[in-house]
Amino acid sequence: MNDYSIFCVSDHTGVTVESVAKSVLAQFPHLKFSLITLPFVDNAEKALAIAARIATTPRALTFSTLTDPALRMPFHQAGLSLFDVFDLIAPRVELALGQTAIPSGGHTHGMAHDYEARMDAVNFSLNLDDGLNPERLDQADLILVGVSRVGKTPTALYLALQFGLRVANYPLTPDDLGQNDLPSCLKPHLARLRGLTLSPERLAAIRMARYPDSRYASLEQCRMELRAAEVFFKHYALPVIDTTRMSVEEIAARLRPS
């Protein structure tokens, strides 16, 4: 069977519509898709050109988050299979609220009111990455702990960028694990500690890709470190997330305070 061509069209970065498309298409595991993201479609000329391009593409589906109805019109006129988030959702929200939506692109990105706070949080997470500047741990909203390569850094940065959370991360090294207790700099902050772990096999595969055939990447070493970290987590009753089968987005959703 031929692949479907999936076009993700946005008047801004395309991150939202691409996430929506991937989530929906994941429900059809037996079909094959090629994904093309087309960001910054923010005027009629671009919309017409892209609609014409898609119209000549066999087996094409179009997902969009074009906030201006005028920009969606060329896609409708071209007879495309268009799934627009605002077309599908906004009318029902209008009905529920008893108000008419006022289209305005880019409000969820860029100059949103919390943009500066999110950038500050990213800088904080970078400055407290991998155990740096432990004297500033008291400023963190969350502190991620775990052995090397369990996903602490990408999760901390995702939480900072998406939600404006000031997230530090602290690696439990073999030296730390050999002390039979958490590092002293972490103990005053137990309420904000969150443990990350994963299966030894997955950890070994991740480490092997970076440091092939090293002791650091051996299954034996991974099992030893994970067991020792688990002892710490249990002793201090820390919340723990197994990241073995989770994306960064899923990990962050479970960590984000409600």
Q: What is the CATH number of the domain that holds 145?
A: 3.40.50
Considering only 23-37, 74-88, 107-121, which range has the smallest mean pLDDT?
Answer: 107-121
Same domain, 145 and 171: yes
The total of structural domains in the chain comes to 2
Given this model, what pLDDT does residue 46 score? 96
DSSP code per residue over 69-133: HHHHHHHHHTT--EEEHHHHHHHHHHHHHTS-----TTTTSTT-TTHHHHHHHHHHHHHTGGG--
Instruction: List CB contacts of 154: < 8 A, sequence separation 6 or more.
Output: 248
Residue 170 lies in a domain: yes
The 10s digit of each residue's pLDDT in 42-94 is 999 999 999 999 999 999 999 999 989 999 999 999 999 899 998 898 888 98
The 10s digit of each residue's pLDDT in 166-219 is 999 999 999 999 998 999 999 999 999 999 999 999 999 999 999 999 999 999
Residue 257 has pLDDT above 90, yes or no: no
Provide the residue range defining the domain that includes 24.
4-97
- With bands split at pLDDT 50, 70 and 90, how would you rate the model's confidence at 105? low
The 10s digit of each residue's pLDDT in 143-179 is 999 999 999 999 999 999 889 999 999 999 999 999 9
Same domain, 125 and 234: yes
Residue 110 lies in a domain: no
Same domain, 78 and 146: no
Residue 108 has pLDDT above 70, yes or no: no
Same domain, 125 and 39: no
Same domain, 50 and 135: no
On whether the CB atoms of residues 156 and 129 are closer than 8 A, the answer is: yes
Same domain, 61 and 11: yes
The residue type at 186: L
Same domain, 242 and 151: yes
- The domain boundary, picked from 97, 125, 140, lies at 97
- The domain boundary, picked from 44, 66, 97, lies at 97
Given this model, what pLDDT does residue 114 score? 78
Residue 112 has pLDDT above 60, yes or no: no
Given this model, what pLDDT does residue 15 score? 82
Same domain, 43 and 85: yes
Residue 122 lies in a domain: yes
Given this model, what pLDDT does residue 2 score? 61
- With bands split at pLDDT 50, 70 and 90, how would you rate the model's confidence at 104? low
Given this model, what pLDDT does residue 101 score? 82
